[in-house]
Every structure is written in structure tokens, then in C-alpha cells.
Amino acid sequence: MSSLRNIPSIDEMVEAKAVQDHLQRFNRDFVIANLRQAVDDVRQKLRSSGEESSREYLGACIAARLDELLLQANRGTLQKVINGTGVVLHTNLGRAPLGKRALVYLQDMARDYNNLEYDLESGERGSRYSHVGDLLVKLTGAEAGLVVNNNAAAVMLGLNTLAQGYEVIVSRGQLVEIGGAFRIPEVMKQSGARLIEVGTTNRTYISDYANAINENTALLFAAHTSNYKIVGFSAEVELGELVDLGRTRNIPVMQDLGSGILIDLSEWGLKEEPTVQASVNTGADLITFSGDKLLGGPQAGIIVGRKDYIEKMKKNHLTRALRVDKMTIAALEGTLLEYLSGDPLNNIPVLRMLVTEPEELASRAEALKEALQSALAEEAVLAIKTTPTDDMVGGGAYPAYKLPGFAVQLFFAQRRLNTIAQTLRSMEPALVARIQEDSLLISLRTVDPRDDALVINMLAAACNPNRAEE
């Protein structure tokens, strides 16, 4: 094929202005490797098409393909996503977005050196755990606090420290599995503790715990079943009962709260999630919970409770393997400071989304609908409506509770619907929405109001690209 002979060589392309511009910005080996790929891609396309093309045209095609490859390779794979699903703590979308205070604090601490493990007063080595430990004490009322890299690690560390080689009693109905195949029984096995199941799936009594206690019992364990709910013929031992039993038998009680929350949201109808403070006041010796769920901070496993147990956990060699870095500590400290002296309901995104009233969402949905009706060509969409939605908390919290919300609903033919949804996901930032039968739903609860205008432009580009280019 004569056109194949018209493909410029690598050396020839390197002298082109477009390639020279890239060489000024990027590593030479990086550019050359992608240039070779661009030439190969154009060659394969030419072989498939059989078209006759000039040397100048093929050179331009290679340059354009090189632009695409460098953009893809240089932007990374982690990117911003606009969450239009209505699931507040969406595990696949990074769970809790950080608040402004946490972001500012994170940037400040990451940009420069800091006193991560340095005591500025004494000039001696300090502890990375001191930065958030005191804040956790002030906010929860516990004697001490410790942070590791996630809640599964927090549970494992607690079990390993207090019960390695001994028995841990837990209700069969609390042997939960959460996302990522995290299972309480498997965590106990890895910790070195021996699991003793009591009761049944749906009914467990305090007598079941009492009858299982023996000289090998090291811990009574309670897991808050935040990701599912048993209704009907059921019975569960209250934390206070378990604490009383533990004190009578001189056995510590550990509770895994899972998500963990510091503010009582019952005023907004969210009544099923106990606060960390309530568990502390009830007398649990150790309490574990997540940092990136209802707390609204970074991924972390937070442990609060008795000081002597916390100090013992700090000395456990496993703690070093599970420790958090300066980035996590900075983001978590910024988040906790918002609870201590700020306005968490307004300034921590997760909490703000949870307490947003449906009337506000309905108003935003109506405004967005009107804007879309003006931005989209008549033939681009079958219909645009606003509709009530059942939003979700997500993150394994409030499993039976539906958040009354509002969404903009766009109707398409089925084939076009899938194409539009895929196009929106391929944009930067990406927009992930709910698909319901023949419609696309964008739930406003999980869309930052600052992104409303961006959503309009993205839908305009996806639905009628010719108009978007004008």
C-alpha cells in the first residue's frame, strides 16, 4: 500500500513543531514512547481503511494521536466525579467529600514540613497520635483516642491487643459482612482471637453471653449492624446490658459502631444510628468507627475508650503496620476542629447533604429543569421532568431509611439513554447518574449546588454536541 510509505519516520516527527512543544513540557523518553505508539496506531488505521493519504495529512494524524495519548497518560486515572445518584456515602465514588477546613488544613500540612512526630515545646520526638487524640477525647468524652488506617484495622487491632489467643463472645446476629468482603469472623481469625458465637441470627439474650463466659473469655464484642436491619421476631442485647455483665465478670466490652457519628440527627428523622458519645456514656471500654463515613472525614479507623487499653494498643507492633500518615492526620484534624469550634451541619458536606430539606432540592430541580429546557434542542430529549426520589445514606448506615429528595428526570429512547449515560461518565469531570427504565435521573441531594451550571453544560454537550460547540 503506497500510503504506508508516506508515514513520516520517528526522527522526522520529532522535528515537527507539535512534537517539539511536547518535548519542552514532558520527559523526552515519555514523549518518544508515546510518539511510537501514535505512529503504530495511525499505521494500523491506514491498513484497515485502505485510504490513500498524503505525507502531510498522515503527519497531522500522528500529531493529533500523540496529543490524545499524552493527555490520557498525563492526567492520571483518579478524577472528579459529580455524584447524581442520590447516595450520599457512595463507596464507589470515594465516600465522604472533605469540608473546606479539612482541605485547607491538609494543603497547609502537606505543602511544608510539620511537627508530625516532633514536640515543639521540648525539642524531643513526639507522637503522631497526639494530634487527634486530644480532639477525640474532647468530642466524645472518652479517656483516650487512637487512629489507624481504616475501621477494619481498628477492629483487628483491638481484638489482637485484648484477646489474642483467647475467646471473644459475640452474637450470631452481629457477624456482619460489609463491602469488600470484610467479615467480622474473618477479622477475628486474623487477629488471633477465638470467636464464640451465641444466640441465633434473629434473637440473642444477655443470658447467652453470661452462659458462654469461662476462664478463657477475654472480651465481649458488640457490632452495630448498621448495614442491615432485622425486623419482626427479633431480640438484641442492649449495649448497657453487655457493659453491666462485663463489669460484673471483669471482662472488657468492645463495640464496633461501623460508620460512627458525632451529632444526633434524629431531628431530621435519622434515628437508628447511635452517636459515639452515647456509646462512651454507656460505658463501652473500646469503641471503633470509620473516619470517611458519617463523620465526614478521610479514610481512617478511629478508636476511643479506656486510656489503659488505648496505651496498650499503641505499644502493639501491629499498630505501626496500620498507622496513618500525615495526610490522613491533617485531614482528620481539620474535620474534628470543625466539630469542635465550627459549624459542622453546614460545613461538613456529608452532614449538609443529610439534613438538606426536600423543599430546597425541589426548588433546585425546578430551576435545573427550566435551564435544561432552554439549553437542549427539542429533538435531543423526549421529555424533562422533576420527580421525588428516595435518596440513600449509603456507607453501611441507616439501611432502612430513605431520604426524601428530588431529581431532574430526562427521558430518552433506550439506545440513546445508554449512550448519553456513557458519554457523561467519559467527561472530565464525570457525571454519574441513576438510570430508571427509560430515563436518566440526576438527584440533587448529592450534587454540589456550585456544580449545577456545570451539569447543564455537560448535559448540553452530551445530548446535542453541535449546539455545545457553538
> What is the structure's pLDDT at 63?
93
**What stretches of 143-196 show up as alpha helix (H) in DSSP?**
151-163, 184-191
Range of weakest confidence among 142-146, 243-247, 436-440: 436-440
Our CA dihedral for 185, 87, 95, 332, rounded to 10 degrees, sits at -110
236: left (phi over 0), alpha (psi -120 to 50) or beta: beta
Tell me, what amino acid is at 132?
A: V
**Cell reading at 133:** 487524640
> What is the structure's pLDDT at 249?
95
> Residue 229: which pLDDT band, with cuts at 50, 70 and 90?
low
Instruction: Please enumerate in sequence order all residues whose Cβ is within 8 A of that of 127, keeping only pairs 6 or more positions apart, or say none.
Output: 117, 314
**Cell reading at 3:** 500510503
> Residue 468: which pLDDT band, with cuts at 50, 70 and 90?
very low
CB 218 within 8 A of CB 244: no
For the segment 22-49, the average pLDDT, to the nearest whole number, is: 91
Q: How far apart are the first and last CA of the chain?
A: 39
Q: Each residue of 339-375: b (16+ CB within 10 Å) or e?
A: beebebeebbbbbbbbbbebeebbebbeebbebbeeb
Helix (H) or strand (E) holding 248: helix 239-249
> What is the structure's pLDDT at 235?
59
Q: Average pLDDT over the chain, rounded to whole?
A: 89
> What is the structure's pLDDT at 286?
97
CB 292 within 8 A of CB 126: no
**CA dist., res. 242 & res. 265, Å (int):** 25
Q: 100-347: which CATH architecture?
A: 3-Layer(aba) Sandwich (3.40)
Q: Give the domain ranges of the chain.
A: 7-74, 81-90+354-469, 100-347
Phi and psi torsions of 237, nearest 5° = -75, 130
CA distances from 203 to 36, 234, 455 (A): 66, 5, 48
Helix (H) or strand (E) holding 65: helix 55-74
Query: Would you identify the CATH topology of the domain 81-90+354-469?
Result: Aspartate Aminotransferase, domain 1 (3.90.1150)
CB 428 within 8 A of CB 71: no
**CA dist., res. 187 & res. 148, Å (int):** 15
Nearest residue to 368 via CA among 349, 348, 351, 385: 385
For the segment 434-442, the average pLDDT, to the nearest whole number, is: 91
Handedness of CA 212, 215, 216, 222 (dihedral sign): positive
**CA dist., res. 308 & res. 312, Å (int):** 6
> What is the structure's pLDDT at 412?
87
**CA dist., res. 326 & res. 149, Å (int):** 11
**CA dist., res. 392 & res. 402, Å (int):** 6
For the segment 3-28, the average pLDDT, to the nearest whole number, is: 90
β-pairing, 81-84 with 430-436?
parallel
Residues of the chain with pLDDT > 70, as a percent, come to 93
Among all chains, which residue has been given the C-alpha cell 446535542? 464
Our CA dihedral for 297, 302, 305, 307, rounded to 10 degrees, sits at -110
For the segment 31-35, the average pLDDT, to the nearest whole number, is: 94
Range of weakest confidence among 61-70, 155-164, 245-254, 372-381: 372-381
**CA dist., res. 387 & res. 95, Å (int):** 25
Q: Each residue of 430-451: b (16+ CB within 10 Å) or e?
A: bbbbbeeeebbbbbbbbbeeeb
Tell me, what amino acid is at 382?
A: L
> Residue 457: which pLDDT band, with cuts at 50, 70 and 90?
very high
pLDDT at residue 223 tops 90? no
**CA dist., res. 115 & res. 123, Å (int):** 10
Maximal CA-CA distance, the chain: 91
Instruction: Report helix, strand or coil for 411.
Output: strand
CB 91 within 8 A of CB 179: yes
CA distances from 325 to 98, 116, 128, 232 (A): 17, 9, 9, 45
CB 170 within 8 A of CB 184: yes
> What is the structure's pLDDT at 208?
86
167 beta partners? 194, 217
Per CATH, 81-90+354-469 and 100-347 having the same topology is answered no
Nearest residue to 362 via CA among 443, 276, 254, 274: 443
**CA dist., res. 57 & res. 409, Å (int):** 44
> What is the structure's pLDDT at 467?
43
Instruction: Report helix, strand or coil for 439.
Output: strand
Span 265-305, pLDDT tens digits: 988 888 778 899 999 999 999 999 999 999 999 999 999 99
For the segment 359-371, the average pLDDT, to the nearest whole number, is: 96
Span 132-186, pLDDT tens digits: 999 999 999 999 999 999 998 999 999 999 999 999 998 877 666 665 556 667 7
